[in-house]
Structures are given as structure tokens and as C-alpha cells.
Amino acid sequence: MKIIPLGGLGEIGKNMMVVEYNSQILIIDAGIAFPSEINSNPGFGVADTKYLSDKKNMIKGILITHGHDDHIGGLSYFLSQFQVPVYSTPLTKNFIEFKIGNKNKDNLHIVDFYESYKLGEFQFQFFPVCHSIPDSAGILVKTATASLVHTGDFKFDDNPTIGNPINTEYLSSLSSNKNLILCSDSTYAEKPGHTDSESLLATNLEEIIRNAQGRVLVATFSSLLSRVQQIINISTKLERKVAVVGRSMIRNLNFALDSGYVRDPKNTVISLKESSNLHDNQIVLITTGAQGEINSAMGLISNMRHSELKIQKGDTVVISSSPIPGNEVRYSHMINNIFRQGGEVIYQSISLVHVHGHGSQNDLKRMITLVRPKYFIPIHGETRHLVAHAKIAENSGVEAQNIFLIEDGYTVEITKDKAILGPRVASGTTYINH
């Protein structure tokens, strides 16, 4: 078995991993890299797939861990180059459909958690993990030589707002696979302790909304449905109505309500037009643009360019996110602009209004001790995150010679007896219009 990351190692974003065995290939994720202040290239970056260009007939399929753009945003481009089946959970499939349009919908297939599937010489199984979007998955890939556990993005949350806690008994059972290699999320490998549960936000958010004299605007990610559910629950309790702003937020919420991922038994959610007939202290607005993206709802509002909404004195604006690495300047600019317009801004630096969807050091150690891999590759992170995670693995009992601290393009070759670093392949970034 060969493991070849083409994106996501040594960087945040454009996640893509190649698993190769007996001249057959399985791919995990196809994401984009987000623009940043240190990168002058326009548009969005996807993984360079030169390595795969003469191996099209070897590719059996692509497995998608969850519906965030850094895992699915490059899929449309990828499918324009490689016509292969795509496997994901139901909600992830819905997010993918929105991204790729009608052209490649026949390529999309839904998988059930814990069900075993076979593609060529690969067997694979999706298992549920906690993250900041429902239906997130880790993936087990088996071959006759070795087995791979790819965690996807994860954290341990014993009291998640949506879904169930990670099945630790299942994770422990994975250790029965001999010659096992674990590829694990490194995003918060530098952060001590455990990542807080999503449920801990409820008290803070309720206090903020209860004390607000006027409108409350909450900016968050359109895919963070657990946060949306919390706001609906709190607003219902405090007898406020909720309106959502931003195309992706409206679309995601409508699908989540229709499919049962989000519940609104008291019909708290109304349209933006309906909200205009209510007093300011009866309204909570949920918007996209928690990173201050220029054309997002909150990006437009903060720059006084939104056609329907403007910040007014008495507004309480909650930025329910932390800045993505590389986006700190834009994030700060958004907050300053809202203050200038008379809004009261509450954000992560001054109050607990956001928790991460990635495990901190104790969570990462817990994953390693449950799975007990023979080999370990830290993935999904900048170089400093990968280095920190490698140290956690060694302190958790993985032998130092079995830890592979690699970046995009490196190859790890696993036989029945050993794992070695193989030749480096072509890798890099291709920039596309998104």
C-alpha cells in the first residue's frame, strides 16, 4: 500500500489523499485552499493532480469525509478531469450536489455508516465522527497488505448538539486490524487540553440574546447547523423569531429542516421580509460571512453594501467563529467596520461564542490510544501542527521510526513487514475560479 497526500499536509486546505495498491487507486477528499494575505494568486487553489494524469484507469473512486469546502470544494474541477464514482454520507452528498451542479450527479453515491463496501481490491467503511457539520465521517480502508484509518476532521464531544458522540468502542475495535496506519487531523495539535463541547455555548449565547435591547445578528458558517440549531432553540425560549440571511445559509437550513437535521417545532424561523414587521427586540438574524468574506451577507453588511440590512445603533452582532489562518486581517476589518456603524460586537477574543470542530491535544492523544496504530501520519495542518501532532503520537506510544512527518507529494510505502518513505511525486497547487 502507498499513501500519497497531494494536498492538506503542510497547509490548511485543499485536502486530497491518494491510496494506491496493486495498480489501483482510491482517493480521499478533494478540497480547495482559501485565499490568504501571504498568497498573491487569485481564485482558489486545488491539489495538482499531475501524478494521477496517466493513471485515470487505475482510479476506482473518491471517498468524501464531510461537506466543508476544504474537502469538497475542488470536486467539480476534479470530476472534470477524472470521471469516477464519489461516495459520501447523505448530507455531504447534498452539499456536493450544490457545488457541482447537474453535470456529475450520476457519479454520486450514498454510503451508510459501518457498512462495508468493496471497490476493486479495496474494502472501505465509513464511521461517524463529531465535527462542526453533521454527517462527518472517518474512513477505514483495508487491503490485503495493510489497513488505513483516516479520521477526517474530528473532535470528541460527549454532548453534541446534533448527532451522537463518537463510538469509542468502534474506534478500539479498529486496533484489531494488524499493520494499521492512522492518518489523523492535526489542526489544533498545538492547543492543550480538550476542545469544548458545542453544548457549552448555549449558556453564553442565551445570556447575550436575553440581554440584547435590539436586534441580534449572529454570523456563523452556513454549514455549522449545530450552531443554527442552538440559536433556534434559544430564540424559541426567549420568544424571538429567527430569520436567516445569505444564499448558502438559506439553502442549507431549508434542506436541514426538510431532512430533520435541524428541528423547529414552534415555527421560530421566518423570512427576512416577515422579520421587518417585528420590533427589533423580537428578532435574531443568522447570517453567513463569519470570516468577513467580501460577498457574504456579513461581509456586505459590514461594508454597508447589503441591499436589505444595515447595522444600526442598538444592534448586537455576534461573530460566532474564529479567523481561519491567513484571514486575520479581513476578520479584524469586519469587526472594526461594525463598531464604526454603531453595533456592539461580541467575538471569540472577548467571550465564548465559538468552539472549534477539531480536537485539541488530549483529544488527539485519545484517538491514538483508542486506535493503537502501528504507523502514524499527522495530516490536515500546517507544518507546525504536523510537528506537534507527531510529538503527541510518540508520547502516546507510537514508535518514533513508525511516525512519518511528511508534506504534500511524499510517499509512504507499507508492506507486511515495514513502512518506508518512498519517492516524492509531483504536487503543488492549481488555481481555479470558484
What residues act catalytically?
A: 185, 358
| Beta-carbon-side half-sphere exposure of residue 400 (alpha carbons within 13 Å) | 1
- C-alpha cell, 315: 444592534
Q: How far apart are CA 120 and CA 401, in angstroms?
A: 31
List C-alpha distances in Å: 77 to 53, 104, 134, 167, 331.
13, 11, 24, 34, 28
| Position 348, amino acid | Q
Cβ-based neighbour number of residue 145 at 10 Å: 14
Q: Where are the beta strands (DSSP E) in 136-204?
A: 137-142, 147-150, 180-185
Dist. CA 232–CA 238, nearest whole Å: 10
Q: Which long-range contacts (CB under 8 A, 24 or more apart) does 35-40 make?
A: 35/326, 36/325, 36/326, 36/327, 37/326, 37/327, 37/328, 37/329, 37/330, 38/326, 39/326
Residue with cell 454570523: 219
- How many angstroms separate the Cα of 258 from the Cα of each of 20, 161, 253? 39, 18, 8
